[in-house]
Structure 1
Amino acid sequence: MIVPRTSNKIANILPEHLKPFQSLETLDLSNNNISELKMSSFPSLQLKYLYINSNRITSMEPGTFDNLSTTLQVLKLNRNRISAIPQKMFKLSHLQHLELNRNKIRKIDGLTFQGLPALKSLKLQRNGITRLMDGAFWGLTNMEVLQLDHNNLTEVTKGWLYGLLMLQQLHLSQNAISRISPDAWEFCQKLSELDLTFNHLARLDDSSFVGLSVLVGLYIGSNKVNYIADCAFRGLSSLQTLDLKNNEISWTIEDMNGAFSGLDELRKL
């Protein structure tokens, strides 16, 4: 059963209005005037898919979604005015996909997403995020896709990647990243695709990509790279695509002593 309530002028979610729909699986409340999510908003339902995109949400109470914890699989809160995510906001044991694109989140604290053990993908694009604290994604041990494009992040560190043991795709395009810490990828050794296009990277050191032995696609186009260390791509034995276009690389192949050594599977450069 699907109940769309899009493009109306709904300002509040009232549990008494939803209680009769005990077989409801999909609820779309997009394009309304909802400004807050309260603990009492949702009664116990069999919801699998919940969309509250393009509203005016500024605040969310912890416990808002607790009554949906055993069934909810997809939650979309894109294009709202959310500036902070309270701790223990999402205690949804079956949720697989969470979207928070185009909000106003600037900082993500440690343990923010604790309570989402089944999550496969998290989208946080176009928020203006400047800081990811240590353990920001701790607990997301099964997450495969993390999209952080179009934010204001300045570095990649082991601290905020802590615990992402199953991560396969990391999208960091259109940020302000100028530094990758030497041990950044310690917890992300299943990564197969890494997008760092349109950032501020000026150099690729011999430690920049250590540990990414199953990486297949590495995209560093449209940065400011003018230096690539010898063996910068050492250990990327599975890499098939390396994108370095639109950088500031000025020296020629003859000047290099092995920057591309070890790329035995490379198909596209």
Structure 2
Amino acid sequence: MIADDAFTNLTSLRVLELDDNYLTKIPTAIVKLSGLEDLILSNLKELRIFPNLNGTRSLEVLRLDRAQVTNVPINLCEQCPKLKSLDVKSNFLTEVPNLQNCSELRVLDLASNMIPSLPDESFKGLGMLHDLLLSNNKLQVIPSDAFSGLSRLQVLDLESNYIEYIHPDAFKEMKHLEDLNLGNNVFPALPTSGLSGLLHLKTFNNPALREFPAPERFPRVQTMVLSYAYHCCAFLSVEMEDPVTKSSVQESIFFPTDNDFDMSLWNSSFTDIWPQLSK
């Protein structure tokens, strides 16, 4: 427990970290920290109630991950108008929080929650956002206007959901998207509108994605982690003067035995096998 007067007169405090504690609530003394810029509340596993941040108008970074919080206050952006990074992964959120007045937000991490859907214009007002992380939720459908207004988005992570349908216009406004992760889902078709600037694409472990878009849909792509080996075939011959059969490019298929390969990696994330790609 932290006394309510614990931070009295600390008006110049800029960073406060209360990681790995057994706090069940955050002291109201925080509201007196008008100069606070970074608030880190990580791995507070007993915390169920989102803290009162009224008075912390200078806050730019808020991390409240691995707790038991079920909702984000609707007035968070009024309390923290300068917020640039919000990390609430690994909680029990069941809906996308209303952040439309957080116009300065750049990074939003909602991974590992229990969000089942993305209503139209879920991220309205977040025109500055460049990283949106939604992996390990319960999403099934990506509607046409789910990402409306996110014209500056660069990174979108939708890995390990239950996505079975993506609207053809779902990504159409993402002219600056560079990294898209759709691994571990079950959708049968990948729409390409808005994805011409992609540098990194992951669609691994999508058994329903049997047909893959043509290479010309991804003119800038550098790395791809795909569902089936034959998805790569069309990309091998891009910009080659001679047919693939006459070029030096070859494809090797390896059938490992238990002694050759750690089979536990089969269902792993791509970052377990190629950790350098996560950056």
User: With structure 1 as the length reference, what TM-score do the two structures score?
Assistant: 0.78
Distance change in 2, residues 1:211/1:233 (3 Å): farther
Letter in 1 for 2:121: G
Q: Deviations over 1:34-64 (max 9, x none)?
A: 3345877511421111111222332337xx3
Does the 8 A contact of 2:38 with 2:60 survive in 1? yes
The structure 1 residue matched to 2:199, chosen from 216, 222, 231, is 216
Q: What amino acid sits opposite 1:107 in the alignment? A: E
Q: Is the alpha carbon distance of 1:200 and 1:158 closer, same or farther for their aligned partners in structure 2, counting shifts above 3 Å?
A: same
* TM-score, normalised by the number of residues in structure 2: 0.75
Name structure 1 gaps, 5 residues minimum.
1-9, 254-258
* More moved, 128-137 vs 170-179: 128-137
Contact 2:103–2:128 at 8 Å: present in 1 too? yes
Aligned twin of 1:74? 61
Aligned partner of 2:21: which letter?
A: N
Between the aligned partners of 1:48 and 1:41, the Cα distance in structure 2 is 12
The gaps in structure 2 that reach 5 residues or longer are 241-250, 252-279
- Kindly indicate whether the alpha-carbon contact (under 8 Å) linking 1:150 and 1:173 is maintained by their aligned counterparts in 2: yes
Contact 2:108 2:131 in 1 (8 A): yes
Asked if 1:57 corresponds to 2:51, the answer is no
- Name the one with the larger strand percent: 1
When residues 155 and 48 of structure 1 are mapped into structure 2, their CA distance, relative to the original with a 3 A threshold, is same
SS of the residue corresponding to residue 78 of structure 1 reads coil
Please report how far the alpha carbon of residue 137 of structure 1 lies from its aligned counterpart in structure 2 after TM superposition. 1.5
Indicate yes or no: 2:4 matched with 1:18.
no
One-letter amino acid of the counterpart of residue 12, structure 2: S
Distance apart, 1:143 and its partner CA: 0.8
Residues 1:148 and 2:148 aligned together: no
Whole-Å separation in 2 of the counterparts to 1:95 and 1:139: 13
Partner SS, residue 82 of structure 2: coil
More helix by share: 2
Q: How far has the Cα of 1:219 moved from its partner? A: 0.8
- Provide the residue aligned with 1:189 in structure 2: 175
Partner residue in 2 for 1:105:
93
* Matched AA of 1:186: K
What SS does the aligned partner of 2:55 have? helix
C-alpha change, 1:235 and 1:108, in structure 2 (3 Å) is same
Select the residue among 225, 232, 246 that pairs with 1:243: 225
3-state secondary structure, aligned to 1:107: coil
Aligned mates of 2:221, 2:61 — CA distance in 1: 32
Determine if contact 2:8/2:29 at 8 Å carries over to the other structure.
Answer: no
Q: Which residue of 2 aligns with 1:5?
A: none
Match of 2:24 in 1: 35
Contact 1:13 1:42 survives alignment (8 Å): no
Cα contact 2:7–2:30 (8 A) shared by 1: no
Please give the alpha-carbon distance, in whole angstroms, between the structure 1 residues aligned to 2:3 and 2:128.
31
Residue 115 of structure 1 deviates from its aligned partner by: 2.5
Alignment of structure 1 residues 115-264 onto 2, 5 Å: 115-204=101-190, 208-228=191-211, 231-232=213-214, 234-245=216-227, 247=228
What are the Cα deviations for residues 163-220 of structure 1, in whole angstroms up to 9, with x where unaligned? 111100001111111211011012222101101111112334xxx1112221111111
Deviation at 1:24, TM superposition (A): 0.7
Superposed CA RMSD: 2.9
Q: Distance in 1 between matches of 2:157 and 2:178?
A: 11
Q: How many residues align?
A: 239
